[in-house]
Structure 1
Amino acid sequence: MTAEDRRELVLDAATRAFAQGGYAGTSTDKVAREAGVSQPYVVRIFGTKLELFLEVFVRATDRVRVAFEEVLDDGDFDPNSDADRDRLGLAYTALLTDRDLLQVMMHGFSGGGNDDIARAARRCMAGIFETVQRTGWSEDDARNFVAHGMLMNVMLSMRAPEHLDEHPSLATLAACTFGDGLEFLR
């Protein structure tokens, strides 16, 4: 296994570990156990737990930004076209099955108590929004698209699709949020 392959192995393991425990609740030892490597090896590659978390968080948000960029770079995007809006939405929906990715993003976006995490979260959110603005949508439409995606993240983070029977309003909100994709997510 090359050094880059081992690095990717540790990043994948760190994504799983941070998705479960967040920054504060995850140690480099837990990441090492998840990856099947030693804790000193994790530290040697990434330095501190904070540097590792930031790399995992930025990597997760970059997947979203890149998915949007691929749609926008794939030809003309008509801001008035429902089909083009759906293409951009589907690019995000394809990522929804990766719950670890979504959980890491939630931990990062809610990690404002740490200045470094908050700074990275602001930069990442700005990058995603900047990419969505390339659609030619109004600022309000771009904001609504991003906000809808964040609502999806929150709903999935709380495992709402698996617990719709707990409250009728939750079921209604989930149906409004996910539309036809709700059954797929359940």
Structure 2
Amino acid sequence: MSAEEGRLTSDDRREQVLAAATVVFGDKGYAGGTTDAIARQAGISQAYVVRMFGSKENLFLEVSRRATGRLRVAFRDIIAGFTGEESNLERQHALGTAYGELVADRGILLSLLHLFGLGQDPVFGPEARECFLDVYRIVREEAGFTAEEATEFFARGMLNTILLALRMPDLRDDARAFELMSSSMGPQCETILANFEAQASARA
């Protein structure tokens, strides 16, 4: 075990590995991401990563659960602040802004996309479906949207996800790109783009 591994608590070490794995799986996908690359990203040994999680499959599951757990928390934090005076459109905008802040972390954004793209996988598919349906339940029951409003919210959210995954904010000076992002993201567009650009600068 390295000196760095020894200084951190077990929870800190676990979060360190999960954060590194989020970056690697986000960049490379499940098939392309390796425990060796994750260990290098975290600055620890590959053997330590394997001891902690057992297998790459388990690690990807934990990365997925970390990302989807943060999504649930982000939405519930916003919902807890609702007073009952907001229109459902205002609620959609507030939740959309929270989602934009979360997926400004490109590792989380791409990890979620990779998870949803593995719907046919016997292990990852059930995890992806349960996540999607649980977030739908939160929006329907806890945020109080109708089925139609929830469907519109999810449709717009998936378009925003694709736009961010495409790095469309890099083309914000292109009138076509900015019009599409503004139309899809609505009043929270500038906030989402600012968060995205801040994260990109931090990674540079």
TM-score (norm 2): 0.81
Aligned counterpart, 1:22 = 29
Deviation at 1:45, TM superposition (A): 0.7
Equivalent residue in structure 2 for 1:2, among 9, 23, 43:
9
Question: Is the 8 Å Cα contact of residues 91 and 143 (structure 2) preserved in structure 1?
Answer: no
Aligned counterpart, 1:114 = 121
Equivalent residue in structure 2 for 1:141, among 112, 132, 149:
149
Q: Distance in 2 between matches of 1:111 and 1:81?
A: 32
Percent identical residues: 38
Q: Which runs of 5+ in 1 are unaligned?
A: none
Deviation at 1:149, TM superposition (A): 1.3
Q: Distance in 2 between matches of 1:116 and 1:85?
A: 32
Q: Distance in 1 between matches of 2:73 and 2:37?
A: 29
Q: Deviations over 1:6-54 (max 9, x none)?
A: 1111111101111100100001111111111111111111111011001
Q: Pick closer, same or farther for the CA change 1:115–1:70 going to 2, 3 Å.
A: same
For the pair 1:160 / 2:146, whether they are aligned, the reply is: no
Runs (4 or more) in structure 1 with deviation over 4 Å come to 168-171
TM-score (norm 1): 0.89
**Could you tell which deviates more after superposition, 70-79 or 16-25?**
70-79
Aligned counterpart, 2:201 = none
Q: Pick closer, same or farther for the CA change 1:29–1:173 going to 2, 3 Å.
A: same
For the pair 1:129 / 2:110, whether they are aligned, the reply is: no
Question: Is the 8 Å Cα contact of residues 19 and 100 (structure 1) preserved in structure 2?
Answer: yes
Deviation at 1:92, TM superposition (A): 1.6
Q: Distance in 2 between matches of 1:61 and 1:107?
A: 12
**Could you tell which deviates more after superposition, 92-101 or 23-32?**
92-101
Q: Pick closer, same or farther for the CA change 1:165–1:88 going to 2, 3 Å.
A: closer
Q: Deviations over 1:140-169 (max 9, x none)?
A: 101211221111111111111213577x65
Aligned counterpart, 1:151 = 159
Q: Pick closer, same or farther for the CA change 1:36–1:128 going to 2, 3 Å.
A: same
Q: Distance in 2 between matches of 1:138 and 1:5?
A: 40
> Aligned pairs, how many?
185
Aligned counterpart, 2:200 = none
One-letter amino acid of the counterpart of residue 57, structure 2? L
RMSD: 2.1
Aligned counterpart, 1:80 = 87
SS in 2 for 1:22: helix
Q: Pick closer, same or farther for the CA change 1:78–1:150 going to 2, 3 Å.
A: farther
Q: Which runs of 5+ in 2 are unaligned?
A: 1-7, 198-204
Q: Distance in 2 between matches of 1:78 and 1:63?
A: 26
